[in-house]
Structure 1
Amino acid sequence: MPTSAPIVSANAATLVGRRPEVGADRLVADLVPPPRFDQVRFSSYLPNPAEPSQTAARDRLQAFAATVGAAPKKSGGLFRKKAPATGAIGVYLDGGFGVGKTHLLASLWHESPAPREKKAYGTFVEYTSLVGALGFNAAVERLSDFALVCIDEFELDDPGDTVLVSTLLTRLSDRGVKLAATSNTLPDKLGEGRFAAADFLREIQALSARFEVIRVDGPDYRHRDLPTPPAPVAEDVVLRTADELPGATLDSFDGLTHELAAVHPSRYGALIDGVSAVGLTGVRPLDDQNVALRLVVLIDRLYDRKVPVVASGTPLGDLFTPELLRGGYRKKYLRAVSRITALARDGAALALAHDPAHA
């Protein structure tokens, strides 16, 4: 049984033991692009010259942005492979991790002409959390006030979410709300390999009918032309870095992963409010699906907020066992590895500054 006791440090705070309260008003107020994407625009998106789909996706989203706030046009269905340049009520960016889908989605939010208060941007988890906090009908009413609803990392992890999100988006689109989403999975393949998708085929197909699919191909830009991922940091350097860096936290890996079970994923963003860096000792591979999926959500929130990770133990690229990587959540785990590896590079730079051996 893993212990939840944090490592005691002279100065560093811990994530273990925090119990952030997040009300419905904050959940709505937080529906804006996170700090990592608060300055991105279409002009700052750099398409890979070898991947023409990236340029095409940027251009298509720029055209779609111009339709936000316009009077809705009647159409026969929304997830079409081919749609008029300005007629689709929903766009769905499909592609691998690290191809810039979130950059494009945030750019759409920033550059759409609708007022800031009429645009919502959040992850799939944040929207399901909002429904849980407000209730379905109240969530529909609140979100119907927006001209644009952007959903990053669209994922259906259980049958209940399939029905919930399909119905939510149908209600919003029927009220003329423009929809935009990113995912690593084509809409008609959502849930595949995770639950009996055939039993929910009608809901999945109804959801699929709500968007025009835009494919974005290419390699992971986070590792393009970069050196090998950083090696784990020595434990004494992790402790020293967390001690000396204002706003840093320090926890054992087992303690933190055990603690995440006591905090709802909708609160993981609040969990790291004010945190400048996360120190972890004793990182090891995870083989429990529930533990691993909770960690994925935390990694996403750390990445959104540009919080470096300084860690000892197993290399962060080996966080998930081969058995997990062969399962239905493979793409989600690979995205998490990509993101935490980027954060580990930032963390390694911090650790180097606090390592006397390199002074």
Structure 2
Amino acid sequence: MGIAIRSLRQFRSAFRHRGYIHLNNFVNRRTFSVDANHGSIFRSIYNVESSLFSHPSSVISRALCADAAKAVTADASQGGPLVEYERRIATGELVDGDSCQVATLRELQRLYDELVESADACQLDRYAASKKSGRSRWLWSRLMPQSSYSPVKGLYLYGGVGTGKTMLMDLFFYQLPSNWRKKRIHFHDFMLNIHSRLRKHEGVSDPLEVVAGEISDEAILLCLDEFMVTDVADALILNRLFRHLFSNGVILVSTSNRAPDKLYEGGLQRDLFLPFISTLKERCVVHEIGSSVDYRKLTSAQQGFYFVGEDFASLIRSGLLRQKFKLLVGEQEPHPQEVEVVMGRTLRVPLGAEGCAYFPFEELCDRPLGAADYLALCKNFHTLALEGIPIFGLHNRTAAYRFVTLVDVMYENKARLMCTAEGSPSDLFEKIVTISDARHVAPRTSSRSRKNDLVDLCVDNELGFAKDRTISRLTEMNSKEYLEQHAAMVGWNERSQEEKSV
């Protein structure tokens, strides 16, 4: 009976894998061909693995396979990110990218090949791994402490904004066999999940060990996008958490704007964080993506949904954004709503209708909110109308941090932003500088002029590095290409909901 059940699971895995490849190639062909004119490849906006498998049309009739597991392995051994990239080049679906992206793809292909070759040793197949051993792993580790580091090292990709880090990792992730224990998640969401699990295991002698055991049971290959440590609570648990994860055989693939040695630079109690950096470099190959091109800014940016006026106060008084908001929601009357966040906590939405939410900037970024609130907002609304984004400086540094997090969460969830702002994306962060940038601020001859130059100047390394990513993302989020992709995603979700309700 056990053999029969396992065979059925393997067949189901291959069955879904075939349907996934068919639909994924269709979606990617559309989105990648749009961006090919810019001389580079861009990532697909669809989380195909999480959405298509639950969609009725994803189940495509196929002839029965004699050995489903072998079919999946055979496909994997002939695939990979670089192979898929070269296939699309050959078919004309996209044009060649820059040498830096190609070099990174070679690193990802090398990792892919190592994983395929060592799939059994790494216990990547979710159906081949014993569920009983997974459930009892934590108890067994307490009786017989042992370490089982993966024979394959992970990969830590870092580089400037807009160099295609996320797109390259996605190209790698979606080429992996669907029957593998793998997970792709944004770092913000990952840490929210960790803290939520820790609350569930309060009272256990080492809750981090239990949480690490749960994660490694679910995913041996962990892909984290936008690794960025700014919170002291996150910094203090990362070392112990990943020590347990790596000991359980987890393989990490991550993207970041920062080199490992620059993570949490200048943060509180950073000396307690330094062992994590050493562990990270020991268990991952570190690769820099060097490029002077920000591909996100090559899109056809237009004013569209980003309104800037010469007189910021009069722009807000005019009620322009509310007028645009009412046009978006159509005939439905917007009204105050509440969305559930976590642990029974809710977020009040001043006005909401037809998947669109309206907020004054102060209510969303001047209050003690965080990634969990913004994630809940994006799960319930696909469009945010944000009134009155100010220029950031020393006086509103905390609001700037929250705004950066908000943009990250919206970008990751492909949400649409309509806003009024005091300046262009680059103007908003003009007074935010890193320590290194502050040293190069040219002093004026007059002490009074120099004092005026430095008024409200915010010297903050983490915010200074994050601002370039935020400017880049705001630019892309206002582009024709992004808005078309957003519309396609909303249409897809609406059709899915209609079919589920039938």
- State the shift of 1:195 in Å: 4.0
**CA distance change for structure 1 residues 276 and 132 in 2, over 3 Å: closer, same or farther?**
closer
- State the shift of 1:160 in Å: 4.2
Contact preservation (8 Å) 1:170, 1:207: no
Structure 2: which 5+ runs fail to align? Answer: 1-42, 50-79, 124-148, 199-207, 309-314, 329-353, 435-458, 485-502
Aligned counterparts of 2:152 and 2:229: Cα–Cα separation in 1: 23
Contact preservation (8 Å) 1:92, 1:211: yes
Alignment pair present for 1:335 and 2:460? no
- State the shift of 1:196 in Å: 5.6
- State the shift of 1:303 in Å: 0.8
Say which of 283, 295, 298 aligns to 1:221.
Answer: 295
The structure, 1 or 2, with the larger RCO (C-alpha pairs under 8 Å, 6+ apart) is 1
Alignment pair present for 1:143 and 2:215? yes
**CA distance change for structure 1 residues 303 and 323 in 2, over 3 Å: closer, same or farther?**
closer
Matches within 5 A, 1:272-351: 272-287=378-393, 288-317=396-425, 318-324=427-433, 326-329=459-462, 330-345=464-479
Contact preservation (8 Å) 1:285, 1:319: yes
Deviations 1:171-208 (A, max 9, x none): 21222222101111111221223346456433422232
Aligned counterparts of 2:385 and 2:481: Cα–Cα separation in 1: 9
Say which of 116, 121, 126 aligns to 2:189.
Answer: 126
**CA distance change for structure 1 residues 228 and 249 in 2, over 3 Å: closer, same or farther?**
closer
Say which of 100, 107, 116 aligns to 1:53.
Answer: 100
Aligned counterparts of 2:402 and 2:387: Cα–Cα separation in 1: 18
Say which of 372, 385, 389 aligns to 1:266.
Answer: 372
The aligned counterpart of 1:206 is: 279
- State the shift of 1:49 in Å: 5.8
The aligned counterpart of 1:65 is: 112
- State the shift of 1:111 in Å: 1.5
- State the shift of 1:95 in Å: 0.7
TM-score w.r.t. the length of structure 1 is: 0.73
Question: Aligned AA for 2:158?
Answer: D
Alignment pair present for 1:168 and 2:219? no
Aligned counterparts of 2:272 and 2:246: Cα–Cα separation in 1: 24
Question: Aligned AA for 2:288?
Answer: R
**CA distance change for structure 1 residues 105 and 225 in 2, over 3 Å: closer, same or farther?**
closer
Range with greater deviation from structure 2 (285-294 or 42-51): 42-51
Identity of aligned residues (%): 25
The aligned counterpart of 1:28 is: none
Aligned counterparts of 2:164 and 2:239: Cα–Cα separation in 1: 25
The aligned counterpart of 2:160 is: 96
Deviations 1:201-245 (A, max 9, x none): 334222322210122122211012645777625654422221122
Contact preservation (8 Å) 1:253, 1:283: yes
- State the shift of 1:39 in Å: 5.1
Alignment pair present for 1:240 and 2:323? yes
**CA distance change for structure 1 residues 282 and 322 in 2, over 3 Å: closer, same or farther?**
same
Aligned counterparts of 2:481 and 2:154: Cα–Cα separation in 1: 38
Question: Aligned AA for 2:428?
Answer: L
Contact preservation (8 Å) 2:299, 2:479: no
Aligned counterparts of 1:347 and 1:109: Cα–Cα separation in 2: 23
TM-score w.r.t. the length of structure 2 is: 0.54
**CA distance change for structure 1 residues 250 and 266 in 2, over 3 Å: closer, same or farther?**
closer
Contact preservation (8 Å) 2:299, 2:476: no
Aligned counterparts of 1:111 and 1:55: Cα–Cα separation in 2: 16
Aligned counterparts of 1:182 and 1:220: Cα–Cα separation in 2: 16
- State the shift of 1:96 in Å: 0.7
Aligned counterparts of 1:347 and 1:282: Cα–Cα separation in 2: 25
Question: Aligned AA for 1:320?
Answer: F
Aligned counterparts of 1:339 and 1:348: Cα–Cα separation in 2: 10
The aligned counterpart of 2:131 is: none
Aligned counterparts of 2:253 and 2:212: Cα–Cα separation in 1: 16
- State the shift of 1:344 in Å: 2.8
**CA distance change for structure 1 residues 72 and 269 in 2, over 3 Å: closer, same or farther?**
same
**CA distance change for structure 1 residues 214 and 184 in 2, over 3 Å: closer, same or farther?**
same
Question: Aligned AA for 1:268?
Answer: Y
> How many residue pairs get matched?
303
- State the shift of 1:142 in Å: 1.5
More helix by share: 2
Aligned counterparts of 1:142 and 1:292: Cα–Cα separation in 2: 34
Q: Secondary structure at the match of 1:97?
A: coil
Q: Secondary structure at the match of 1:71?
A: helix
Matches within 5 A, 1:29-40: 36-38=45-47
Aligned counterparts of 1:272 and 1:308: Cα–Cα separation in 2: 10
- State the shift of 1:265 in Å: 1.8
- State the shift of 1:316 in Å: 4.3
